[in-house]
Amino acid sequence: MTALVIIFAAIVGAVLSVYLRRLNSNNVDEIPHDAGDENHHYDPSNPQTTILHEISPDSADVKTLYEVFSWGREASAEYLYYGEIDSSAVKQDGTGDLTKAAFHAEVSVSFEEDAISVETANLKDYRHHGFKSPRFSIDNEIGDNFPNLTPAELIPTSTTDEYRNLISISDKDYSHFMIVGVFQMVYFRYVRIDDSRITTISVIAGDEFATMEWLFQHFNDLVERYQDLPMQRFSGAIRE
């Protein structure tokens, strides 16, 4: 990643970090964006997704949350450059329903002062302390087959268990990987903090929607494309 100071979190999930770096160096096929399967029988080797919204990094044609994902999350005054979802969760009006999605990806910016303050504090804390130790031993449970596993195979049986691993960090941004049992999802998330804006790039998946290799490569592609967004100011998004 451009201008990033890469610091893999050896104190937690050292083995996983090696796997993630290995995936990052592998070549994968172009990611398909085809029609969904209404029966929800997922093929992890060929995920079916629909891009709901996509603009170039220098475009000002951003959309608000409900113009892209109209159901499943409250708006937080974010502006979306990119939105993609499990094709089976596309509504008739062309927007996405996050309550029915086993996958979605998003690139957004926010100018909310409290959001900027929270992420600034997170970055400072991660740079000094890293992440806390995981609540279950992922190193023993994953093994060398990590690239071929699906979220369903990573999510712990207890809905209270979680795992977090810092992938990369610099003085202005960080990336991390999370397994969140309570939501039955895995998360790849990138955050960049500028003086008056935060940029967030996320890839979130559950079930047997895709392999970890596919998800991590897709995440890296979005970060590579959108991490250096030109500074533009937008207004009009609502916050609930």
Whether 96 contacts 104, CB under 8 Å: yes
How far is the C-alpha of 4 from the C-alpha of 48, rounded, in Å? Answer: 31
Q: What would the pLDDT profile of 161-198 be if each residue is shown by its tens digit? A: 677 778 889 999 999 888 887 778 999 999 999 989 99
In the DSSP assignment, the letter for residue 223 is H
DSSP codes of every residue in 109-158: EE--HHHHHHHHHHHHHHHHH-PPPPSS-HHHHHGGGGGG--HHHHS-SS
Q: 88 in helix, strand or coil? A: helix
In the DSSP assignment, the letter for residue 10 is T
Q: Which two tokens stand for residue 195?
A: 């003086």
Q: Which two tokens stand for residue 72?
A: 């499943």
State residue 145's pLDDT score: 75
Whether 166 contacts 130, CB under 8 Å: yes
Whether the pLDDT of residue 40 is over 60: the answer is yes
* Mean of pLDDT values over 91-110: 97
Q: Where are the domains of the chain?
A: 14-226
Whether 180 contacts 124, CB under 8 Å: no
Q: pLDDT higher for 232 or 155?
A: 232
Whether 111 contacts 197, CB under 8 Å: yes
CA-based nearest residue to 7, from 98, 95, 153, 123: 123
Whether the pLDDT of residue 28 is over 50: the answer is no
Longest distance between any two alpha carbons in the chain, whole Å: 48
- Whole-number average pLDDT of the chain: 81
Orientation of helix 14-25 relative to helix 212-226, angle to 10°: 70
Phi-psi region of 184 (alpha: psi -120 to 50; beta: other; left: phi over 0): left
